[in-house]
Amino acid sequence: MTADTAGEVTERAPAGAPYADAATGRTDPALLIEASVLLADAALAARRTGAELTAACSGWRFGVRAVRHPVWGLGTALAVGRAVTNSRGLGFAVNGGAVGEIVRSLGTLTRREAAPVTMAVDAFTLRIEAATGEHPNLTVPLAKRLTDAVVAGRRVEALRAARELVQLLGVTRTLTTLSPVIMELLALLALLDENPTNDSFAWVTLAGGVPTTEPLLGLPRGVLQRFNQGSGRAERAEADTLLARVLARSDNDIVRYIDDISALGNHGLALLRRVRGADGTERYVLLLPGTSFGHLRNRGPQDLVGAFDGLLRADTTYTRSIKHLLVRAGVPEGAELMIVGHSLGGITAMNLASDLDFVSTYRLTHVITVGSPIDTKRAVDPTVRVVSLVNKHDVIPGLDGRGPASAVSVPDAWLELSWVDETYDYPLSHSPQAYATTLRGDQLPYRTRVNELITMYDGEIVANQPYLLLDK
């Protein structure tokens, strides 16, 4: 279920609606999204058809039969060849299998037009246009020039426009401006360049899924794993004065948890809290902060490499160090546990929820993510309560590729609460303080709503123990 700022379920416009924005007279974004979904489906169907025809004529069975019945073989080859190369039909749609991929790569290098690619490009274009309704900064002339250049495949012009946009707005405002359509722009770049190895990024983004390559060079995600190695370790740490003061006034309240995460900082600390409930049962709350942006890599798992790794894979140095933390802290098997994570912490919480070993060792009951791109991740235990808190101005939660017309839909059991607040620029819009401030205000009912879901963790806080997480 998705709730917007008014606390109501967001629904798309029904078929037959007038489809015009009354205020501006522009085409209704709902119609653009509908057309984008249709085009994406058609693109995927055309691509699949190309793959099926390629497989039909590249298998050994076809070869054997063609030798036995040469007339049939010639006729079939011509008919299939016509189907996968007709510029008025599928275009150059050969793909799939070893032979198909080699031919497709040659076609990409020589810029042969394929109907699936053209349809996909138009689907992404409509997504971008639909997003401009909700994010008017995308209509700024330079931003518009940039998106138009990317859509047209004019990379040099796109680079110039990006440079001028940065000069005009600065890096953070540029990032914020482009963030609603960043996945679409990356997918278009991947689809329209001469590199055939990164195209899968675009197709996965179009279909809704977890990309298996990065968008620029097409490097497989296994390569990323090489940069984020380590068994993961957790060392007991002492709370400094500021952290101790914040923890002293903490409670079973989502805003307090986010405050605690802010106080933990993002230099490698995580917090394990023991709570004794009214029924005498001891339960555990784990607070996981997000990424440290100081360096690409540091000695802990909360770094940029770890963030990309966590986004694409489930077993990372962060998840391993958390498992080590729980063993070290003596959390008994079967103990009830809730994880609250901000940004990379939220990704890690979902990665742990998708780990069979973890959920069969501990009874993970709740995962609350704050500004985390988790929509392509799934908990292996269907009873885990997942709550995702998203500020729509925040760049980071959109990095999972769930755009306005994305095929990704979150499970019905999840509670996704999103809003638009006054913190426009990244990284301010992503900071835990901004999330806490918004939730603390009276305008949104979300604080109460989340707190009602986590009442089983009410009780006396027995211990608050910070741990320093390390890669090795």
Partner 1 sequence: MNASDITTAVRRPTTAWPLENALVSAAMAAQRISWIDAPARALGLKPFTRQHLTRQVLAQLRRTARGRPILLRTAFGTFLAPLNAEDARSLIGRAEEAGARGAVTGLTSHGRRLRLSAHTPLPVTLASLNTRVRAIAAEEALELLASRGADSVLDRAEWCAVTRRIARRLVLGDGACDDTLIGDILEATLQAADATEYTARVAALRRRLDPYLHDPGPNPGPTPDALIAVLPDDGSRNGVIEHVLETVTRALTETVPQALALASVGPVAPGTDRVEQAVGSALRRYPPLSTTVHEVRAPFQWRGMGVDSGTEILYATAWLRDVDQGRGHGDEAPSASLCAAPAPCAAAELAVLVASELTRALLRHAEPVLLAPHIERDALPADLPADSLDLALTDVDPYMTDGTLAPGAGVLTPGAGALAAGSGCARHAALAAESARSLEEHARQLAACAQRPGWNHDAFGEQCRMTLLAHAERCARAAVDVSRAARWLAR
38 binds partner 1 (CB under 8 A): yes
Asked if 101 and 71 touch (Cβ cutoff 8 Å), the reply is no
Nearer to partner 1, 332 or 441 (CB): 332
Closer to partner 1 by Cβ: residue 126 or 390: 126
CB of 292 closer than 8 Å to CB of 303: yes
Provide, for the chain, the percentages of residues in helix, strand and coil under a 3-state DSSP scheme, each rounded to the nearest 5.
Answer: 50, 15, 35
Is residue 58 close enough to count as binding partner 1 by CB under 8 A? no
Residue 140 binds to partner 1 (criterion: CB under 8 A): no
Beta bridge partners, 3, equal 9, 417
Q: What is the dihedral of CA 279, 282, 283, 287, to 10 degrees?
A: 130
DSSP, res 220: B
Nearer to partner 1, 53 or 247 (CB): 53
Task: Identify the residue among 112, 173, 299, 363 touching partner 1 (CB under 8 A).
Answer: 363
Residue pair 468/269 in contact by the 8 Å Cβ criterion:
yes
CA distance 221 to 352: 19
Stretch that binds partner 1, among 83-91, 199-207, 211-219, 232-240 (CB under 8 A): 83-91
Nearer to partner 1, 119 or 405 (CB): 119
Runs of H (alpha helix) within 297-355: 304-312, 317-328, 344-353
Among the residues of 23-140, which ranges form H helices? 29-58, 60-68, 70-85, 97-109, 115-134
Among residues 3, 33, 39, 337, which is the contact residue for partner 1, using CB under 8 A?
Answer: 39
Residue 62 binds partner 1 (CB under 8 A): yes
User: Shortest Cβ distance from residue 358 to partner 1 (Å)?
Assistant: 10
Binding test (CB under 8 A) with partner 1, winner from 7, 63, 70, 86: 86
32 near partner 1, judged by CB under 8 A: yes
Binding residue for partner 1, selected from 188, 224, 305, 359, defined by CB under 8 A:
359
CB of 28 to partner 1, least distance (A): 6
* Binding flag, residue 299, partner 1 (CB under 8 A): no
Residue 455 binds partner 1 (CB under 8 A): no
Question: Does position 72 bind partner 1 by CB under 8 A?
Answer: yes
CB of 93: closest distance to partner 1 in angstroms? 8
Strands 460-470 and 2-3: unpaired
- Please state, in angstroms and as integers, the Cα–Cα distance from residue 349 to each residue in 77, 149, 438, following that order: 52, 38, 22
CB closer to partner 1, 357 vs 460: 357
Is residue 35 a contact point for partner 1 (CB under 8 A)? yes
CB closer to partner 1, 144 vs 392: 144
325 to 344: interface string for partner 1, x by CB under 8 A: --------xx----------
Contacts for 192 with CB less than 8 Å, ≥ 6 apart? 117, 121, 150, 153
In this structure, the number of other CB atoms found within 10 A of the CB of residue 359 comes to 18
Task: Collapse the DSSP code of 118 into the 3-class scheme (helix H, G, I; strand E, B; otherwise coil) and give the result.
Answer: helix
Judged by beta carbon, residue 88 or residue 226, the one nearer partner 1 is 88
Supply 103's token pair: 């031919």
| E-assigned strand segments in 173-214 | none
Choices 136-144, 366-374, 380-388, 401-409; region in contact with partner 1 by CB under 8 A: 380-388
The kind and range of the H/E element at 180 are: none
Q: Is 449 helix (H, G, I), strand (E, B) or coil?
A: helix
Vertex 294, ends 292 and 296: CA angle to 5°? 85
Q: Does 46 bind partner 1 (CB under 8 A)?
A: yes
Q: What angle do CA 366, 369, 373 make, to 5 degrees?
A: 130
Nearer to partner 1, 62 or 227 (CB): 62
88 binds partner 1 (CB under 8 A): yes
Residue 18 interacts with partner 1 (CB under 8 A): yes or no:
yes
Cα–chain-centroid distance for residue 91? 32
Any residues with CB less than 8 A from the CB of 38 and at least 6 apart, and which? none
Quick check: 378 binds partner 1 (CB under 8 A)? no
| Given 75, 294, 411, 441, the residue binding partner 1 (CB under 8 A) | 75
Residue 14 contacts partner 1 per CB under 8 A: no
Out of 1, 4, 10, 52, the only residue in the binding site for partner 1 (CB under 8 A) is 52
Taking the least distance from each CB to partner 1, the nearer of 59 and 170 is: 59
Of 118 and 137, the one with the shorter C-beta distance to partner 1 is 118
- Binding segment for partner 1 (CB under 8 A), chosen from 112-120, 228-236, 290-298, 322-330, is 112-120
Angle at 126 between CA 15 and CA 123, to 5 degrees: 95
Taking CB under 8 A as the criterion, the residue among 83, 99, 140, 210 binding partner 1 is 83
Residue 298: phi and psi, rounded to 5, are -135, -170
Neighbours of 286 (CB within 10 A): 26
Helix axes 344-353 and 304-312, enclosed angle (nearest 10):
40
Amino acid 460 reads E
The count of chain residues that interact with partner 1, using the rule CB under 8 A, is: 58
Q: Which residues bind partner 1 (CB under 8 A)?
A: 17-20, 25-28, 31-32, 34-35, 38-39, 41-42, 45-46, 48-49, 52-53, 55-56, 59, 61-62, 65, 72, 75-76, 79-80, 82-83, 86, 88-91, 115, 118-119, 122, 126, 129, 333-334, 356-357, 359-361, 363, 380-383
